[in-house]
Structure 1
């Protein structure tokens, strides 16, 4: 029995954000083609590079060297985070805006903060699942040794969290760049591919031209890959870096800077409706 005049307490922003996360995750996994591509892509690329470059026991670096599968795993982890966060959101939000979904959602009582919490929660869930699958494939199929120390896993955790945060915020901010949902993939995908080529994902970073290394250093993917290398490569590999160091401090600062900058830009430029919709 409802008492007339009784004020119904509305759910809080966090509770609505958690509910929105569940909705976003369910919607995400219904897009099976996108899920297969984003989850399988890093595993397939790791298999290709490990097979092609690792023939006849070839290794990376000075003797005795590191197996190619082990060397390329950190880059694939970084690119997986980028696919799940930046690429997924930059394209997905642009499509939602183009088909009018964002405009309709903005007209409901759902707080904007809960919408963005839902997107963030969805990225965290998908990134964790993707990372777990990639680590399992690397260990079981390619005998890549996983870290055994708590310090290494702690480093993995903060690189993962900061990388996911930077990628998520950049994806939200960049979603306003494509002029339509149809053009979003054509705008976002080439950027992701170029960053992978220059950031030490597909090639040994030290082997890239110096100017390319300098350009890559401006973007978060290079720092995510370098941070992951510090976790999954032996301590001796630190001397192979351009700076001769893992640069954990610089990695944290760059990822934080990108996250903050993307947040500022996103707050100023995010649109709930198409440009031609008033």
Structure 2
């Protein structure tokens, strides 16, 4: 009898609870499944930058810069950067604010799930959607607008770290800004406005060489401008460097700014993130 009781206690002590990482994977799979079940959201998310790429590339199809680059070729990497920010900053800023307003976050705090698993789930979601968005835009760019894929392994390495750092920085900023809206209903207005302004002053819709310098200096404080510049450096020929504000791709500065925003975004999240609405105390 004593032996049986001891064996039962031993088996009980051997029970291992899932780690935050494994729970984050499960949470991410659930987030991705829920995202693809909302067909209208899926269509809008992936079609939005493609439609804008088609519109701007068609309007300025005959424009050729001094570097021999067509406007449509310039728009492809810029729209890729905007797509990365859309699927991370905008998507998380709005969705988390809505989940907070609907008491979803409050209910999660009452479960055994560690908080890190919730954020890991969101990261998996933006990683998948951001990758798919980028792949679709790259496919459109190479097939319709003569954007050449890099043949140099180093260029693909540059693309990888720009994608990872840019997505991480924008995702953290999205989590941070989700605490700004007072309700889920106002989240779209609060998040979309700064994102829209940044697209105009960061070289997404308007060529860098036509934007006033003071606007470029403001845009240079945020990740989007540097993602645009870095992705142009990956997918455009070196002759296009003359179109940049500094006349160079500045990959070192791109990495420095994006890395700084990853750290700064994490600090902002730790300081500002709330599981409950302000009116709930």
Are the equivalent residues in 1 in contact too, given 2:147–2:236 (CA < 8 A)? no
Q: For each residue in 1:57-115, what CA deviation from the matched residue of structure 2 results, as whole angstroms up to 9, or x when unmatched? A: x243216x112221111110000000000000000000000000000011101001111
TM alignment of 1:169-184, pairs within 5 A: 169-184=172-187
1:165 aligns with 2:172: no
The alpha carbon displacement at 1:142 in A equals 2.8
Q: 1:76 is matched with which residue: 76, 79, 89?
A: 79
Q: For each residue in 1:195-253, what CA deviation from the matched residue of structure 2 results, as whole angstroms up to 9, or x when unmatched? A: 00110000111110111111111111000000001011110111221111111111111
- Aligned equivalents of 1:15, 1:60: Cα separation in 2: 50
| Partner SS, residue 79 of structure 2 | helix
TM alignment of 1:11-30, pairs within 5 A: 11-30=18-37
The alpha carbon displacement at 1:38 in A equals 1.5
1:62 aligns with 2:69: no
Moved more, 140-149 or 20-29: 140-149
The alpha carbon displacement at 1:4 in A equals 5.2
Runs ≥4 in structure 1, deviation > 6 angstroms? none
- Aligned equivalents of 2:141, 2:213: Cα separation in 1: 30
- Aligned equivalents of 1:115, 1:27: Cα separation in 2: 14
- Aligned equivalents of 1:134, 1:242: Cα separation in 2: 25
- Aligned equivalents of 2:243, 2:145: Cα separation in 1: 23
| Partner SS, residue 275 of structure 2 | coil
TM alignment of 1:1-278, pairs within 5 A: 5=9, 6-7=12-13, 8-54=15-61, 58-62=62-66, 65-278=68-281
Are the equivalent residues in 2 in contact too, given 1:70–1:145 (CA < 8 A)? no
Are the equivalent residues in 1 in contact too, given 2:148–2:236 (CA < 8 A)? no
| Partner SS, residue 129 of structure 1 | helix
Give TM-score scaled by structure 2 length.
Answer: 0.94
Q: For each residue in 1:170-200, what CA deviation from the matched residue of structure 2 results, as whole angstroms up to 9, or x when unmatched? A: 0111110000000000111111111001100
- Aligned equivalents of 1:34, 1:197: Cα separation in 2: 24
Are the equivalent residues in 1 in contact too, given 2:65–2:71 (CA < 8 A)? no
- Aligned equivalents of 1:42, 1:68: Cα separation in 2: 16
| Partner SS, residue 190 of structure 2 | helix
